Chain A
């Protein structure tokens, strides 16, 4: 049973518009959430994170929103750029779990020029 779910395998948006990537989780013990970006033939790179004590975290064009009651988080990219085209993974962790990450299956984002 997947504890972290990314239900949209792919997303296509126009350059300059907003990209919204979604992630749902089932384990209420998760208290830290991360987004990773992955280009082909490379390892994932950290993008942004959020602790469960917050509901929003912003870093430049990237904002992560957390809705604990709905067990849902989203990543907003504004404005989207062609270089943002990649696979985005949502990950979650629980305190006391040796900082292990549980990953979603990923969403492939394509930003069209």
Chain B
């Protein structure tokens, strides 16, 4: 049982390049979330998916797209990376609709130059 896994761990992009951050969970959780963490700002929600086939915007969705490929996988795509998207990205999942606790992956550190 690996929990929540994220790939890659590190990535450097040039401005304008695109990439997809992958996230998978093996806990059969319904809900999945993408956050970014910036110094002094805590974690901010980018997008979330309450169930397979649904996605919704969080606090900071601009510049990102997501896909809930199946119940296990939730990917985050940057179509045209900008330096402002330099951050640490965390994926999380939630076990059921009565439990607020989210389980987090180890993160992806992204640098856009």
Q: Which DSSP category, helix, strand, loop or mixed, fits chain A's interface?
A: loop
Count of A-B contacts judged by CB separation below 8 Å: 61
- A89 and B42 within 8 A (CB): yes
Question: Taking beta carbons and an 8 Å cutoff, which residues of B are in contact with A?
Answer: 4, 31, 33, 35, 40-45, 48, 50, 56, 58-59, 90, 92, 94, 97, 99-107
A44 CB contact (under 8 Å) in B44, B50, B100, B104: B104
- A99 and B100 within 8 A (CB): yes
Which B residues lie within 8 Å of A93 (CB)? 100
Which A residues lie within 8 Å of B44 (CB)? 103
- A92 CA / B35 CA spacing, docked (Å): 15
Q: How many residues of A contact B (CB 8 A)?
A: 24
Which B residues lie within 8 Å of A45 (CB)? 104
